[in-house]
Amino acid sequence: MRILLIGASGTIGSAVRKELEARHEVISAGRNGADVKVDITSTDSIEAMYQTVGKVDAVISATGSTYFGSLLKLTPENNDISIQGKLKGQINLVLLGLNHVHDQGSFTLTTGIIMDDPIVGGASSAMAGGAIRAFVKAAAIEMPRGIRINNVSPTVLEEAMQTYGDYFPGYEPVPASRVAQAYRKSVEGAQTGQTFTVY
């Protein structure tokens, strides 16, 4: 398969690329250090990416900026980081990418465990993840040409504990390589409209 991986240089994206590139052609996209440059908060940038890459069999989004911080300090401007990046950015990858994915292809988006198991400071990120999950479930019944759509909801990663560990007291982290298996399941499997939770 020919797979477009957005966010390939991140912790999850790097693990997904390592998992898939032995069997598939993986084209990386991101803001820096990728085959194709893209800013998913810009529809013009997303459209340019798809024009550059051409037709693919699968699109994976392992990206999307989000805001972490106390609800009492959550302003509309801070919340907009999650809305523009994690939520609208990922959904626009689908809306603008439908004509660039082959029949029977797939989209895989990224959500996160805190939409089901909240943490202090995670309201904005949880909101975006929950909205993406709802979009995936609803969009699955309308996807054209046999195209599938799923999302992966990982818990905190072992590799990210130094940065995010304080937000996740009592959570058992998982390695990014294990999370990558859920993306493989979404791309190579047959399910659609699903949330693949990894914890």
Please answer whether residues 36 and 52 qualify as being in contact, where contact means their C-beta atoms are separated by less than 8 angstroms: yes
Specify whether the backbone of 193 is left (phi greater than 0), alpha (psi in -120 to 50) or beta: left
Cα atoms found within 13 Å of the Cα of residue 135, Cβ hemisphere only? 22
Please answer whether residues 143 and 192 qualify as being in contact, where contact means their C-beta atoms are separated by less than 8 angstroms: yes
pLDDT tens by residue, 15-50: 999 999 999 999 999 998 899 999 999 999 999 999
pLDDT tens by residue, 164-195: 999 999 999 999 999 999 999 999 999 999 99
Backbone angles phi, psi at 20, to 5 degrees: -95, -25
pLDDT tens by residue, 128-148: 999 999 999 999 999 999 999
Q: Which residues contact 28 (CB under 8 A, 6 or more apart)?
A: 5, 8, 9, 13, 17, 34, 35, 36
pLDDT tens by residue, 62-97: 999 999 999 999 999 999 999 999 999 999 999 999
Domains delineated in the chain: 2-198 (3.40.50.720)
The pTM (predicted TM-score) of the whole model is 0.96
